[in-house]
Amino acid sequence: MREKVYLEKFAAEDFDKYYKLVGSEEVMAMITERAIPLDEARGNYNYLLNNNELHKSFGSFKVLELKTNNFIGLGKLKVEEMNSKKAELGYMLLPEYWGKGIGNEVARLLVKKAKEEKQLNRITAIIDPNNIPSRKILINNGFVSDKICEIDGLPGEILSMKI
């Protein structure tokens, strides 16, 4: 399978790319059910950058198109502390890239990265249970559904994978 995308950690100068995602109602509809306002997004981005410093291989990554280096979205494999045994996997893509197999490729790259590190024994992912395409991507990459519940007042489904 030929790769279409690659991952590169977000850096301080990438806020505009991040905001292009989180500031979009369409992108955020199945995540927070609202676009994130600029000030809140700046705070979230500072948290993201600090989290990226925890571990060289884990954090939040720009998803970039291999041929053009165009920004496509975000992929994350987030740990809470450097020696954590579990990580949260997630992804967001700009709408023009939906339905092209890129979400599946991003999930596959993140799972591969998690397995290569040898530190993790579990990956979780949280989605809106109505987000059928995301659910399909996760199941196809080895995740199983653990439970459907409310998370921060929103519908949620927690899926996981043992490594």
Residue 10 has pLDDT above 80, yes or no: yes
Q: Name the residue ranges covered by the structural domains of the chain.
A: 5-162
Lookup: tokens for 13:
């100068």
Please enumerate, as own/partner, the contacts of 142-147 that have beta carbons within 8 Å and a separation of 24 or more: 142/111
Residue 127 has pLDDT above 80, yes or no: yes
CATH tag for 5-162 (out of 3.40.630.30, 3.10.110.10, 3.30.420.40, 3.40.50.1370): 3.40.630.30
Angle between helices 102-117 and 132-140 (to 10 degrees): 40
Q: What does the pLDDT look like over 74-114, one tens digit per residue?
A: 999 999 999 999 999 999 999 999 999 999 999 999 999 99
Q: What is the DSSP string of the chain?
A: ----EEEEE--GGGHHHHHHHHT-HHHHTTTTSSPPPHHHHHHHHHHHHHHHTT-SS-EEEEEEETTT--EEEEEEEE-SSTT-SEEEEEEEE-GGGTTSSHHHHHHHHHHHHHHHHS--SEEEEEE-TT-HHHHHHHHHTT-EEEEEEEETTEEEEEEEEE-
Q: What is the pTM of this model?
A: 0.93
Residue 147 has pLDDT above 90, yes or no: yes
pLDDT of residue 134: 94
